[in-house]
């Protein structure tokens, strides 16, 4: 059944594709895109758009009331690398926007909330291979601390006030429609842009830094499937582990070279290496598979082919 949906942070890497996808499911007019500034292209032309600051509780409520919004997807956030540079701004945006949305649900003004968490909730003391759903969580980054605090608040609002909030811990996301910004996993998108431009790439992580990653199409499908699942099946109300593949910069470079043999990569690790070192190499997502039927479709080879084709560089 069609719902009226508001996306906060619709112009970002996930928000753009999520908006277009939800518009194809629920109808263009039922999905209100919003962001702090205007976006471009299909996002702006295909349906309603509001300039909206997710930290402004009154402004968010006004848009909810004006459009009779039933569900909110809160995609506005400062990511890991930017958050290390601007800790106050990151904490303010990541937490205030979450409270604004959870409180609207608590007050019965919206029915359902999606809020993204991240593999950044894990830290250097977490088991790094096949990291379980429930394990040691001692994040060492500003972003990870905000995501872990957010998870606990989501679980609290569900338990205390019955708020229907749903969440996944996204790995690094790979997409060609919109570039990411300010993340540690962004190299896995930048590398394709350089390969397609016929230029060498200087990677800001070491060649053997293994991180969990996912193609955007899988991430969007997971998000929409979780939001469509029966409430009783959503047993985890903090956030679900979600996985599809893990690779190192060297491995993705080799995969790209199968299509573009002349492509070269050099390595110059910067401050983001410390962040990557604190995150797991792979994730156990069995609970998501069992509870609401999660199953990924894109591995490294399928992702590489889709990225090169999307960016117009396949041979």
Active site residue 143: yes
30 vs 210, beta carbon nearer ligand AKB: 210
Site for ligand AKB contains 185 (CB under 6 A): yes
Stretch that binds ligand AKB, among 177-185, 188-196, 215-223, 288-296 (CB under 6 A): 177-185
Please select the residue that binds ligand AKB; options are 170, 187, 192, 247, rule is CB under 6 A: 170
Q: Catalytic pick from 143, 157, 215, 240? A: 143
Please select the residue that binds ligand AKB; options are 55, 175, 184, 238, rule is CB under 6 A: 184
Asked if residue 276 lies in contact with residue 137, where contact means CB atoms within 8 angstroms, the answer is no
Please select the residue that binds ligand AKB; options are 183, 249, 280, 281, rule is CB under 6 A: 183
Site for ligand AKB contains 239 (CB under 6 A): no
Q: Which residue has the tokens 């992580």?
A: 205
SS3 sequence of 180-229: CCCCCCCHHHHHHHHHHHCCCEEECCCCCCCEEEEEHHHHHHHHHHHHHC
Residues 6+ apart with CB under 8 A from 96: 54, 55, 57
Beta strands at 49-51 and 31-35: parallel, antiparallel or unpaired = parallel
C-alpha–C-alpha distance, residues 48 and 22, integer Å: 13
Site for ligand AKB contains 167 (CB under 6 A): no
157 vs 279, beta carbon nearer ligand AKB: 279
C-alpha–C-alpha distance, residues 25 and 278, integer Å: 38
Asked if residue 226 lies in contact with residue 165, where contact means CB atoms within 8 angstroms, the answer is no
Q: Which residue is nearest to ligand AKB (CB)?
A: 183
Residues 6+ apart with CB under 8 A from 105: 72, 111, 112, 113, 157, 161, 163, 164, 165
Least separation in angstroms between CB 160 and ligand AKB: 27
Binding-residue pattern over the window 248 to 287 for ligand AKB, x denoting contact by CB under 6 A: ----------------------------------------
4 vs 185, beta carbon nearer ligand AKB: 185
Helix (H) / strand (E) element for 62: namely helix 57-67
Binding-residue pattern over the window 80 to 99 for ligand AKB, x denoting contact by CB under 6 A: x-------------------
C-alpha–C-alpha distance, residues 127 and 57, integer Å: 38
Radius of gyration for the alpha carbons in the chain, expressed in angstroms and rounded = 19
170 vs 192, beta carbon nearer ligand AKB: 170
Site for ligand AKB contains 118 (CB under 6 A): yes
Contacts with ligand AKB by CB under 6 A lie at 79-80, 118-120, 143, 170, 172, 183-185
**Which residues are catalytically annotated?**
143
């Amino acid at each position: 059944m069609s719902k009226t949906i508001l996306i906060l942070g619709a112009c970002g890497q996930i928000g753009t594709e999520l908006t277009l996808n939800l518009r194809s499911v629920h109808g263009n007019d039922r999905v209100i895109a919003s962001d702090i500034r205007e976006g471009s292209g299909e996002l702006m032309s295909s349906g309603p758009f509001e300039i909206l600051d997710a930290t402004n509780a009154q402004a968010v409520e006004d848009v909810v009331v004006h459009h009779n919004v039933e569900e909110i997807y809160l995609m506005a956030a400062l990511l890991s690398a930017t958050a290390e540079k601007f800790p106050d701004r990151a904490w303010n945006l990541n937490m205030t926007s979450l409270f604004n949305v959870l409180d609207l649900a608590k007050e019965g003004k919206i029915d359902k909330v999606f809020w993204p968490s991240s593999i950044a909730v894990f830290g250097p003391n977490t088991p790094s291979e096949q990291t379980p759903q429930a394990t040691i969580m001692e994040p060492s980054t500003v972003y990870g601390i905000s995501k872990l605090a957010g998870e606990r608040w989501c679980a609290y609002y569900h338990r205390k006030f019955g708020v229907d909030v749903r969440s996944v811990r996204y790995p690094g996301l790979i997409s060609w429609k919109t570039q990411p910004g300010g993340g540690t996993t962004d190299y896995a998108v930048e590398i394709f842009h350089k390969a397609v431009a016929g230029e060498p790439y200087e990677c800001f992580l070491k060649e053997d830094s293994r991180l969990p990653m996912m193609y955007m199409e899988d991430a969007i499908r997971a998000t929409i499937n979780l939001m469509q699942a029966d409430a009783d099946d959503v047993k985890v109300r903090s956030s679900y582990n979600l996985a599809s593949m893990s690779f190192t910069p060297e491995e993705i470079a080799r995969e790209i070279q199968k299509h573009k043999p002349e492509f070269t990569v050099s390595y110059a690790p910067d401050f983001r290496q410390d962040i990557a070192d604190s995150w797991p190499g792979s994730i156990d997502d069995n609970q998501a598979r069992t509870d609401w039927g999660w199953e990924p479709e894109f591995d490294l080879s399928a992702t590489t082919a889709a990225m090169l084709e999307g960016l117009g560089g396949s041979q």
